Structure 1
């Protein structure tokens, strides 16, 4: 298995900070009371019931993807030409051929910016809509606020035998539940669906354990376990959380729907070829199958976008496949009548520096971290196709028109899923927290 290394030296790791805190005294009582009072509050009308997040870990360049600068000097413009899109006057970089031709099926946001220019902080901000509370290092795995996936799992979870939040092949560093509790952490599918031997762990009984024996053991556990649980989420009872893990596991191994959703080998070979016979393409296909099975949130983690060097050589190979897979996912959802009910977003933690540079000891140029400008793709869930929101300046230094924040982006995702971004949730110790501090969605996309 190959590892993708970022500039911070970190390879594949998962970090979930659950945030279980003290739950004694008046904090618990007030939290329970406030939570009860907040239930039933009205929210936005859902346009989508599921979300596929394509997370481009490392920070993808906006210049070589969705926001080229053909009129800038060569040291800013880069090696790639620009091409026309389906929308007059809007250009993409030369390798984004299929997405350029299908821009009328989705929207492009070119004006999100923030001030967190390292991986640890930028990842947290874009994944949660909340900036880190304290300065964090580039390689930090931090969690100060629940991620979008965990919030959606909590708000839209369904009793269908499947976890409500998946991440493939790993969890992003700030993709966890924080104080919502580990029951809303993602179910990680680490294996490669492009392999002929692909099989999801923990979704089938061991060969030497019959279904009858498994059921008997489950019933025996229920009989001998007499521990009292605090069932309200605000209590944060770890015993109740453990019960939830057990129920999820039982549902997975006994659910026909789960077995079918994971069986990507049922797909016609022509469909698999259309997505691309590579790991990323097949994970996009598996994400579509999970949407069909009723999963509310799926992250397709796509690492390796931290191009401090070999930017043009790496992207010349990578972008055609990535362009094909994402364009195919959007088109396939549309053909199946699922795009209106499925939100698809693609982004990373930030963009890249306007001026090309070559690191000491390297022979190939690249671009460094840059949080003043980035591009975000959004499709489905009632998103008006052909819409381009905002703009950066002539050299791509900064968003200058319709400047937006990560809060606006995350608020838009929640709004489209029918979740009030201004909703107040409570930590186990009763601390109230807004899902998003600025709940204003991007009006052009609503």
Structure 2
């Protein structure tokens, strides 16, 4: 089943769009970095759970039980392990481990449609021009692409993965195709799941693979973030070919994807569904040394039927995310791995019914949103910032997408104030205001 938002953009559609602007000769020359010193790294990896469509803050991490009925909604609350802090009732497992979580309730911005909001939160840079709700835009490298540029993965593995598709603003922009995500588009919960491109073509030995002059034809099937019709991708294709060959020879890559080696008990804990098994696959990837993994989790655009949809969805989502955090912790990986969950914005305080729809929902709302942080030496058991009593806006410790992006970079040891240069020599800050969220620094 495809997850769409109100603009009708599916996750697979993202892979089919032209991306010529991302190439633009970006691989023709190396980027030059500023001389500013990098901060000391607190984390090595990020698992970013992208809740595409814009999750409601009311029904997740910022409930308003004392608000009027038309604001508070149908769900009750659940007490967390942190005294005086409550989550929405379907977040029971995460509530029970709130001592490992930091919830930021006060990020806000001014981009209230999917295209613009996605770009702002996924890059830390606002769109340069107004864009439509259904737009797939890139004015700045994404978080994952910058991390891949600054933090290479072990030999044979890409540094940036996106499962099962790339988010609409998750590309590399001027950094070029080399720093685009490796997309794993299958369902890890399916019987016989196998990731393409991490094994030699059927019937071909390593010797034959190394010797063939027409080997490019054999790796044409290699599925990555590359559109052959976009501009002149000759240089990008060289990197495309090189990485295909490396993956096909990489025992590390092959081992990371062998999810069927996980004990059945572990797989069950994550949830035997696509989202659950992608979270488990993400854990295996960071365990192998991959610095950035995005789980593109669509279907959070609930303009209608909000409460029925989330009653069905949230318990399994809660199970998966809590299992991921607990598993990382048990394996000694949580301290070096940030787990982050968010979307492009929150939802309107007042419950609405759109024209022609009978079941109530909430609409787009950029004045308030909640973001979950765990791991990476982030202090647990804290709520950062607050919205007003009815959830209209962030009013206490108000933070920006730039603060969010700067936090990720700083905790990974990347200076958010660092200057990158486009192939044309134009200087570009990684983040225009590189101030991290101090409460998450540890």
| TM superposition score category, shorter chain reference | over 0.9
Aligned to 1:225: none
**Is the CA contact 1:373–1:398 (under 8 Å) kept in the aligned structure 2?**
yes
SS in 2 for 1:425: strand
**Is the CA contact 1:343–1:379 (under 8 Å) kept in the aligned structure 2?**
yes
SS in 2 for 1:72: coil
Aligned to 2:240: 245
1:169-184 to structure 2, matched below 5 A, reads 169-184=164-179
Q: Distance in 1 between matches of 2:440 and 2:120?
A: 21
Aligned-CA RMSD value: 1.9
**Is the CA contact 2:420–2:427 (under 8 Å) kept in the aligned structure 1?**
yes
Check 1:323–1:271 CA distance in 2 against 1; reply closer, same or farther (3 A cut).
same
Aligned to 1:234: none
Q: Distance in 2 between matches of 1:402 and 1:178?
A: 32
Aligned to 2:224: none
Return the TM-score normalized by structure 1.
0.91
1:204-219 to structure 2, matched below 5 A, reads 204-217=199-212
**Is the CA contact 2:34–2:418 (under 8 Å) kept in the aligned structure 1?**
no
Q: Distance in 1 between matches of 2:213 and 2:126?
A: 43
Aligned to 1:230: none
Aligned to 1:198: 193
Aligned to 1:11: 10
SS in 2 for 1:289: helix
Q: Distance in 1 between matches of 2:124 and 2:138?
A: 12
1:313 aligned to 2:308?
yes
Equivalent residue for 1:425, pick from 420, 426, 436: 420
Equivalent residue for 1:328, pick from 323, 329, 334: 323
**Residue segments in structure 1 that go unaligned for 5+ positions in a row:** 222-236
Aligned to 1:381: 376
Q: Distance in 2 between matches of 1:112 and 1:372?
A: 8
Q: Distance in 1 between matches of 2:106 and 2:175?
A: 31
Per the TM alignment, residue 239 of structure 1 is displaced from its structure 2 partner at its CA by 4.7
Q: Distance in 1 between matches of 2:70 and 2:153?
A: 51
1:139 aligned to 2:154?
no
Per the TM alignment, residue 242 of structure 1 is displaced from its structure 2 partner at its CA by 2.7
SS in 1 for 2:212: helix
1:49-68 to structure 2, matched below 5 A, reads 49-68=44-63
Moved more, 203-212 or 7-16: 7-16
1:163 aligned to 2:162?
no
Per the TM alignment, residue 219 of structure 1 is displaced from its structure 2 partner at its CA by 11
Aligned to 1:303: 298
Q: Distance in 1 between matches of 2:179 and 2:272?
A: 31
Q: Distance in 1 between matches of 2:245 and 2:128?
A: 38
Q: Distance in 2 between matches of 1:392 and 1:378?
A: 18
Equivalent residue for 2:184, pick from 154, 171, 189: 189
Q: Distance in 1 between matches of 2:209 and 2:153?
A: 24
Q: Distance in 2 between matches of 1:4 and 1:333?
A: 28
Q: Distance in 2 between matches of 1:59 and 1:113?
A: 13
Listed one character per residue, the Cα deviations across residues 160-210 of structure 1 (whole Å, up to 9, x for unaligned) are 201111000100000000000011110100000000121111111121222
Q: Distance in 2 between matches of 1:94 and 1:351?
A: 18
Equivalent residue for 1:441, pick from 419, 428, 436: 436
Q: Distance in 2 between matches of 1:425 and 1:93?
A: 42
SS in 1 for 2:87: strand
Return the TM-score normalized by structure 2.
0.92
**Residue segments in structure 2 that go unaligned for 5+ positions in a row:** 217-231
Aligned to 1:232: none
Per the TM alignment, residue 376 of structure 1 is displaced from its structure 2 partner at its CA by 0.1
Aligned residue pairs: how many?
422
1:109-120 to structure 2, matched below 5 A, reads 109-120=104-115
Q: Distance in 1 between matches of 2:140 and 2:82?
A: 37
Aligned to 2:219: none
Per the TM alignment, residue 306 of structure 1 is displaced from its structure 2 partner at its CA by 0.1
**Is the CA contact 1:342–1:381 (under 8 Å) kept in the aligned structure 2?**
yes
**Is the CA contact 1:53–1:344 (under 8 Å) kept in the aligned structure 2?**
yes
Q: Distance in 1 between matches of 2:63 and 2:289?
A: 37
Q: Distance in 1 between matches of 2:82 and 2:20?
A: 43
Rg larger in structure: 1
Aligned to 1:224: none
Check 1:220–1:70 CA distance in 2 against 1; reply closer, same or farther (3 A cut).
closer
1:283-298 to structure 2, matched below 5 A, reads 283-298=278-293
Q: Distance in 2 between matches of 1:286 and 1:174?
A: 22
